[in-house]
A and B are shown apart, each in its own frame.
Chain A
């Protein structure tokens, strides 16, 4: 059995993580309004969410993760 998390949840959460992180950094005055980082953050978040969901590196509490093939 594949050791895998939830890629759909990971992708959606990652995208919104990047989007809202951008607005947060904007609100703190760390990024200017025309910064390209605001465009890249949702894409980086999407990729990060997918990678973490496919590799599932965080073990479940109270039991060991099934071994990867």
Chain B
């Protein structure tokens, strides 16, 4: 009985930690920039300044994106990046990174394609953030929360992880019994 109470207290403690670290779903963009993307297959258009909540996207899609800077005086030095935040110790994934010492453009339109591997989990929130530094203008920075459509059974990752969680729990159970004399 005492071990059950201890396990229950531990589970409650873990749940408390999870709530404390939960990331609020939102989108924002600060600075003299505009950015938007149209997810073709998902039929979703995201404006980084006005988007609210979590945006559901397909595991495989093309994004037609546009970025503009107001008040830029070419030529000037520019730099920036777009990254997907990953948990430590994994390095953040950077689908876009740019730098130019004499940039003339104040607008960029292009298409970005992505395709999640079949074994990758689905149904979780992904925070995509980025910044753009344009000459002496204030830095533009923003983020958007995306969720890949699907759930626990949409990829093998969830059931496989659950299976090995139970196997590992059995290993802990075995280790927690005294060795025979």
Contacts and interface: CB of A to CB of B under 8 A. Distances in A.
Interface of A: 1, 3-7, 9-10, 12-14, 16-17, 20-21, 23-41, 44-45, 48-49, 52-53, 55-60, 65-66
Contacts, number: 153
Contact of B10 (A24, A26, A48): A48
Contact of A20 (B23, B88, B165): B165
B161 A27 contact: yes
A58 B21 contact: no
Nearest to A63: B180
Interface string B168-181: 11111111111111
Interface stretch (B32-40, B70-78, B98-106, B123-131): B123-131
- Interface size class for chain B? 35 or more
Contacts of A20: 161-162, 164-165, 168
A14 B168 contact: yes
B100 to A, nearest CB: 29
B87 A35 contact: yes
B176 A5 contact: yes
Given A13-B171, A34-B127, A24 B178 contact: no
23 contacts: A3-B178, A5-B176, A5-B177, A7-B175, A13-B171, A13-B175, A17-B165, A17-B171, A20-B161, A23-B157, A24-B165, A26-B121, A27-B161, A28-B152, A30-B18, A32-B22, A32-B145, A34-B87, A39-B87, A45-B168, A58-B173, A58-B177, A66-B181
Q: Give the one of B2, B23, B86, B87 with max A CB within 10 A.
A: B87
A35 B86 CA distance: 8
A38 B23 CA distance: 13
A29 B89 contact: no
B83 to A, nearest CB: 10
